[in-house]
Amino acid sequence: MGIIIKRTGYTALLSYLGFFIGYINMLWLFPYAFRPEEIGLIKLMLAVAAMFTVLSSFGGSQVAIKFFPYFSDTLQRRSTFFKLLSGIAFAGLTLFIVFFILFHNTIQEIYSSKSALFNTYLWYVIPITGSLIIYGIVESFVTVQGYPTVPAFFREIYTRILLTIATLIFIASLISFSGFMGLVCILYCLSPIILFFYGREKGLMPSKGPLNNIHRNEIRELSQFGAFAYLGNAGAVILANIDSVVLSAYSGLIGTGIYGIALFITVIIEIPKRSLSQVLIPMVVKANKEHDVKILDVLYKKSSINQFLVGAFVFLIIWLNIDGIFSLIPNGEIYREGKWVVFLISLAKLFDMFTGINAEIVGTSQYYKIDLLLASIISIIGVVLNFLLIPLYGVIGAALAVLFSIVLLNTTRFVFIAIAMKIQPFSAKTFIALLCVAITYGIVYLIPVIDGTIIEIIIRTLLIGVIFGGLILCLHVSEDISQAIIKIFVRLSQKT
């Protein structure tokens, strides 16, 4: 148990460290080094590669995690399973390359008018996508055997820190922008190779074993699960990246760069949701397995109030300091156009947190197939919204499409759980929490913006913390968060 906790701690630490490096890259280093259209190009390249990756991987990563225990009894069976997954990955990669070559000219025509720079580097999509497809399989196979730290390092730290180094080399005029893009491709291609050899050294990548060492009924189960996993994952990834893809086609790479900066400012809001979900998932799985609706109801309500309070606190810090944040970003006046994108995307993330762990509850229940179907339908609606709203409103249209899609998805899950399981995430404390947010916002909003310096941002942030934290403590909104606040005060008082 100690080893598991230790590795989990390392993985969480790497996630937060990677987030911090990404924040420095996207909000300060990139705007200093690159033009907005070049930032838009980087954002578009990664979005296109992510979409092609999920469409070409056929759910291989999810299959690896789900079915490895069924193939772990002997070395030969593990080898058979790895060969099968590798075959899926290379089949997907081959189909992607064929598709890309056949429709290369069509893709160029789509972006030739507004994002011609993308066509210059279009072929770079192949190596980046290929590396992501192969990396997904290798990462899953290493992680599921109890070695999550090194894959987490590559996923969270490796790419970001090397992007930092590549950008600094570009700033030093040692390479051109074309050289920078080539270096990025090389970095992406190296990660699955290095991780594969790490797995081989640890004995996690066996190569001996015939493919006929797998039964027909196992193939059928793998295929059925893979199909549902493919639908759900494809829908989620497409919905997460379609905004940049459509925005680049209609508004150009400058708009994508502005949108990318605004989007990244909001990323910090959802970090508490990820952390809390990881803690609660085992409890939700157990409760669903035992059909313990009472436990699910408690977890549902706790997740909603705790996620919302932490997310709202971060949102208040961001939005009440938004002008100061943009003033600290190099060439911030250019990116200030994304101010209302920050607001709309923040609302989307807050609503997702407000409705609690609905995805985890449905996704681990007997209704998971229905949830995948609903998520896929809403993903299609999200794609349509992007095509409708972006030509009309540009970056604001992209943000509106995200907001509508997330609200629709979570509302659908909320209604489904309320009908099927007779539980919902809200209580009287929910309305008190909303009141705390409104009061804090109203008081701090009345303070005039002077110069948007770091000192002013710090003062406003401390004021938000005192007012919001004080209200939560006095009104007993959340026991968990109240205890956390008290512990912080106790530790601070012991050090003074």
Same domain, 163 and 200: yes
Rounded to the nearest integer, the mean pLDDT of the chain is 85
Residue 130 within a domain: yes
255, 302: one domain: yes
Burial environment of residue 267 by CB neighbours within 10 A (0 to 12, 13 to 18, 19 or more): middle
488 is a domain residue: no
Q: The tokens 């074309």 sit on which residue?
A: 178
Burial group, residue 178, by CB count within 10 angstroms (0-12, 13-18, 19+): exposed
Note whether 210 and 224 are same-domain residues: no
At 3, is the pLDDT very low, low, confident or very high (cuts 50, 70, 90)? very low
Residue 155's pLDDT band, with cuts at 50, 70 and 90, is confident
CA 483 to CA 8: how far, in whole Å? Answer: 23
Same-domain check for residues 350 and 244: yes
Burial 328-344 (b: 16+ CB within 10 A, else e): ebeebebbbbbbebbbb
Instruction: Give residue-wise pLDDT tens across range 407-429.
Output: 999 999 999 999 999 999 998 99
pLDDT classification of 390: cutoffs 50, 70, 90:
very high
pLDDT at 275: 67
pLDDT surpasses 70 at 89: yes
Residue at which a domain ends, from 178, 199, 214: 214
In a domain, 364, yes or no: yes
Predicted pLDDT at 209: 56
What pLDDT score does 456 carry?
86
| Among 59-68, 313-322, 387-396, 411-420, the least confident range | 59-68
Is residue 447 situated within a structural domain?
A: no
Whole-number Cα distances in Å, 16 to 19, 244, 259, 307, 493: 5, 25, 23, 17, 26
Residue 322 in domain: no
Is the per-residue pLDDT at 10 higher than 70?
A: no
Q: What percent of the chain has pLDDT over 70?
A: 90
Q: Given its phi and psi angles, is residue 452 left (phi above 0), alpha (psi -120 to 50 degrees) or beta? A: left
Q: Residue 20 domain-assigned?
A: yes
Confidence at residue 6, expressed as pLDDT on a 0 to 100 scale: 46
pLDDT 10s digits, 461-489: 999 999 998 999 888 888 877 777 777 66
Over range 154-177, report the average pLDDT.
89
Greater confidence (348 vs 198) lies with 348
Does 210 have pLDDT greater than 70? no
Q: What is the pLDDT of residue 5?
A: 39
Cα distance between residue 42 and residue 52, in whole Å: 16
**Banded model confidence at residue 162, pLDDT cuts 50, 70, 90:** confident
Q: Is the dihedral of CA 192, 45, 390, 329 positive or negative?
A: positive
- Mean pLDDT, rounded, for 327-335: 89
* 159 and 230 together in one domain: no
User: Does residue 327 belong to any structural domain of this protein?
Assistant: no
pLDDT band at 125 (very low <50, low <70, confident <90, very high): very high
4 and 82 assigned to the same domain? yes
Residue 109 lies in a domain: yes
Name the CA dihedral angle for 56, 59, 63, 65, rounded to a multiple of 10 degrees. Answer: 100
Would you say residue 166 has pLDDT above 50? Answer: yes
Structural domains in the chain (count): 2
* Per-residue pLDDT at 208: 65
Residues 185, 298, single domain; the answer is no
User: Where in 85-171 does DSSP place strands (E)?
Assistant: none
Please give the pLDDT value at position 312: 93
- What would the pLDDT profile of 228-239 be if each residue is shown by its tens digit? 777 777 777 888
DSSP secondary structure string for all residues of 341-356: HHHHHHHHHHHHHHT-
Domain range for 82 is 1-214
With tokens 């081959």, the residue in question is 94
Q: Which of 11-15, 121-125, 127-131 is predicted least confidently?
A: 11-15
- Do residues 291 and 186 share a domain? no
Of the pLDDT bands very low, low, confident and very high (cuts 50, 70, 90), residue 225 is confident
Examine the pLDDT at 8 and tell me if it is beyond 60. Answer: no
pLDDT level of residue 452 (50, 70, 90 thresholds) = low
207 has pLDDT over 70: no
